[in-house]
Structure 1
Amino acid sequence: MVPLALWCCRLWALSEQVKVTKKLNGQEKQIRKMGKGEHFGELALIREILRTATCTAVGPVTCFSIDKEVFEETIPIEHLELHDDISSKVLEEPDAPEKTSPSSYLRLKDLIPVLYQEGRYQGEPVTLGVGGFGRVELVTTLHHGKYFAMKRVSKKHIVAKRQEEHVLFEKRILKAIKSDFIVRLHSAFKDTRYIYMIMEFCVGGEIWTKLKEVGRFDEPIAVFCAACVVEAYAYLHKKGIMYRDLKPENLMLDAKGYVKLVDFGFAKELVHGNKTYSFCGTPEYMAPEIIQNQGHDFAADFWSLGILVYELLVGSPPFSSSEPAKIYPKILDGVLKFPPYMGEGAKSLISKLCRPRPGQRLGNTKNGIKDVRHHRWFSSMNWHKLRVGQVEAPTIRLIRKGPCYINFDRFPFDQALADEEFSGWDKNL
């Protein structure tokens, strides 16, 4: 019998199986069977706690074992199926009701607006954000008491801007995405005037708002925020999705202080090795190859990561102007000016992410995103603990306590109704 605490083992050759047992209510009960190629013990290494399950060989078994150091260097744990923890939880609580997904009970008619409780907009519906796309409003349900961010977009506006395919794509990919570093889409609805996307509500507000409040972030906060973006990128790029709209306004804080990407209006699926030629993004964050229309790929996301790190540490992006047309020549010149208080590690990371040639950019060379994770600026980050939510977020001190909307800017309620739209482009939404 081998306790699941010392190594991570992968089963190589066996004539029978390995059974996994755990003591439940005073009795040893079987919780799982494993066969060739499966693994055990990874949770002990990830979470650094003693596991209580036991593996017993049923017949001849050969195992390859690796220690914690090798494990962290070689195993991409974000994609491991962590069976031993889940299985035992199921058996310990056989009568526990399964967690209900909001998508199973949400209906548009049941969503009610949350109202401001004080201030100049007291009694009006809470608006979390406003943009050219429409509005994001805070809503709840009478029976479940959960909060949701409802993105409401005019169908007439979508048609006028020829954004039908973008909206359908955004809904499709958000519905499929399951990452703790990307905001969840629970449901989507429509009527004759609007498309409604019911999103996870991130109570901590926008990184942009927090950055405005404090001026610039201390390095530990910037490291944490950037690390969350790296994990979101790793997930998206593996699925062949470019994000293309990184900026502090599109980063939200959840209740734990973890950072999540929102707004996939510029996201695009791309086969690795191919390029696309769309001119899109926020001017300050655009990579040179987008501006020059040379064709771009996933490397453009790494450029914008470098710009983000700079803005988090300085309070403003390195290339800026009140006129967008004046920003582009500065980006193409590529001269990065660092303030004297910026550390050498940050300068190194930003310089490598913002190399003019996409093929030389950190994250876009042979080792891919691993090179970003291994850069010395991230030396304090335990990536495995970050992925399983065990890093204590330094951003938590940025989140104010009070009404659920306290971490958001306030906006007046817009009572105007959008025109109706009947073309039917959204029939498959």
Structure 2
Amino acid sequence: MIRLGLGDDAPLISFSGEQIPAKRHSPESIARLGAQLQSMMGERFRVLESVAIGGMATLFQVQHTLHRGLFIAKVLHLELVERKDVRESFRREAIHLAQLGNHPAMIPILDFQENDRFAFFLTPFIEGEDLDHTLARCGSLSRTEALHMAAQVSSLLCHAESHGITHCDLAPGNLRLDTFGRYRVLDFGLSRSRFDTTTEYLRGGTPAYTSPEQAAGGQPDHRSDLYSLALILCEAMSGRPLITGDSFDEIRHKHLSAQWTLPAVVQKDPPIAKLMDWMLAADPAERMQSAFELSGVLAALGFERPEFHGMAKIETENRRVRLSN
């Protein structure tokens, strides 16, 4: 199961500050959505079943009728299709998937279709298990596995940072370990780009992993993703979320006031404890400033990704060119 939705008490907010009401979708309405998807896709694909229902969209597993390959169609909920802000966010997600899709931690986009009443995009179906399910089943990851996970995600964040893209909703439920041992980052539905001219962004996220600046209603950037990844790494090593609460307001307060204590397994590991303190600074100016820094630290600890080595060279050259112009 791929988790799409936000927490029950974490509303999705439009760029104007309006709360977008969450609608409960009945099995009948999901079946109608699937039938419309089938009509839109034609005879080349067969819609098999819905696999997840989120606040903005439903995921359907579909199969190609000729070669039997499996895919995922992400379908925007019908009541949201006419909302300009939601529709732009959906298009932006597709664009960001295309821009980052060649990275091994990404799931590439294969197709995008829309009309006045319907919108969906298609990606490969990636078999595996989401990290939140793995932690619920196993309790925690070993130090080695947790740092391998962090290195893979950090490598993708380097790629995203080079393209000016921020995920804005990193959480264990949005990381999937595939059957080849690679972690994939899911759900770019709230992602942003510093190159966009639009101000029509949706605000939201998974409360326990939301950065302080997002919790305060501010503008996230690539440092926000580093904060979220630190929370994921702490949980992966300890088996427990670092920040919990009975309400969104309580969790928000803990983010803003840095009311957390590193788990014992992290405190006993000085290099990781120092790294977590750096990444979890409530003030983005005091936080680690780049995923390239994080990947460099992880490489020094023995967790270098081969694709990061090439990206670091390219980014260094790009920065040199920008400075010389």
Task: Tell whether the structures are fold-level matches, with TM greater than 0.5.
Answer: yes
Describe the SS at the equivalent of 1:280: coil
Stretches of structure 1 that go unaligned for 5 or more consecutive residues are 1-105, 115-124, 389-429
Q: Distance in 1 between matches of 2:298 and 2:73?
A: 39
Q: Which residue is 1:324 aligned to?
A: 248
Q: 1:303 deviation in Å?
A: 1.1
- AA of the residue aligned to 1:266: L
Q: Contact 1:206–1:248 (CA<8 Å) still a contact in 2?
A: yes
Question: Which of 112, 129, 132 is residue 205 of structure 1 equivalent to?
Answer: 129
1:167 paired to 2:86: no
User: 2:278 touches 2:287 (CA, 8 Å); kept in 1?
Assistant: yes
> Quick one: structure 1 residues 329 and 232, their matched pair in 2 at CA, closer, same or farther if it must change by over 3 Å?
same
Q: Which amino acid aligns with 1:353?
A: M
Residues 297-308 of structure 1 correspond to what in structure 2 (within 5 A)? Answer: 297-308=221-232
The yes-or-no answer on 1:111 pairing with 2:45 is yes
Q: Please, what TM-score do these two structures have when normalized by structure 1? A: 0.56
For 1:247, the equivalent position in structure 2 comes to: 171
Pair 1:259-2:183 in alignment: yes
Structure-2 change in CA distance of 1:280 and 1:219 (3 Å): same
Indicate if the aligned counterparts of 2:85 and 2:202 stay in contact, CA closer than 8 A.
Answer: no
* TM-superposed deviation, 1:309: 0.8
Q: 1:197 to 1:294 in 2, by over 3 A?
A: closer
Q: Distance in 2 between matches of 1:349 and 1:304?
A: 13
Distance 1:263 1:290, change over 3 A: same
The answer to whether 1:352 aligns with 2:278 is: yes
Please say if 1:269 is aligned against 2:193. yes
Change (3 A) 1:198 1:314: same
Opposite residue 278 of structure 2, the aligned amino acid is K
Query: Take 2:271 and 2:200, find their aligned partners in 1: how far apart are those partners?
Result: 32
Query: Mapping of 1:12-31 within 5 angstroms?
Result: none
- In structure 2, the partner of 1:29 is none
- Is the CA contact 1:147–1:201 (under 8 Å) kept in the aligned structure 2? yes
Note the alpha carbon deviations across 1:102-122, whole angstroms, 9 max, x for none: xxxx954321134xxxxxxxx
1:376-391 → structure 2 map (5 Å cutoff): 379-384=301-306
Separation of aligned partners in 2, 1:385 and 1:167: 28
Partner amino acid, structure 1, of 2:45? L
Q: 1:155 to 1:109 in 2, by over 3 A?
A: farther
Aligned residues: 266
Separation in structure 2 between the aligned mates of residue 277 and residue 352 of structure 1, nearest angstrom: 28
Structure-2 separation of matches of 1:259 and 1:208 = 13
Classify the secondary structure of the residue corresponding to 1:375.
Answer: helix
Query: Could you say which residue in structure 2 is the equivalent of 1:218?
Result: 142
Corresponding residue SS for 1:359:
helix
Identify if the C-alpha distance between structure 1 residues 211 and 378 changes in structure 2 by more than 3 Å, giving closer, same or farther. Answer: farther
Aligned to 1:183: 107
* Cα separation, 2, equivalents of 1:156 and 1:163: 10
Q: CA deviation at 1:377?
A: 8.3
State the alpha-carbon separation in 2 of the partners of residues 312 and 266 from structure 1.
Answer: 23
- Offset of 1:183 from its aligned partner? 1.0
The alpha-carbon distance between structure 1 residues 276 and 334, as it changes in their structure 2 partners (threshold 3 A), is: farther
Determine which structure has more spread, i.e. the larger CA radius of gyration.
1
TM-score by structure 2 length? 0.73
Partner secondary structure for residue 241 of structure 2: coil
Q: Is the 8 A contact 1:277 1:293 kept in 2?
A: no
Q: Secondary structure at the match of 1:205?
A: strand
- Post-superposition offset of 1:381: 1.3
- Pick the aligned partner of 1:288 from 189, 192, 212: 212
Task: Decide whether aligned partners of structure 1 residues 230 and 159 sit closer, same or farther in structure 2, where only a CA change above 3 A counts.
Answer: same
Give secondary structure in 1 for the equivalent of 2:265: coil
Cα distance in 2 between the residues matched to 1:292 and 1:329: 9
Using the TM superposition, give the Cα deviation of residue 277 of structure 1 relative to its aligned residue in structure 2, in angstroms. Answer: 9.0
Corresponding residue SS for 1:326? helix
In the alignment, the residues of structure 1 paired with residue 177 and residue 55 of structure 2 have an alpha-carbon distance, to the nearest angstrom, of: 22
1:357-411 CA-partner distances (Å, limit 9, x unpaired): 212212x0xxx333212326861213227779xxxxxxxxxxxxxxxxxxxxxxx
Q: Which residue of 2 aligns with 1:375?
A: 297
Distance in structure 2 (CA, Å) of the matches to 1:285 and 1:253: 19
1:198: Cα distance to partner?
1.1
Shift of 1:256: 0.8
8 Å CA contact 1:136–1:150 kept in 2: the answer is: yes
Higher strand content, 1 or 2: 1
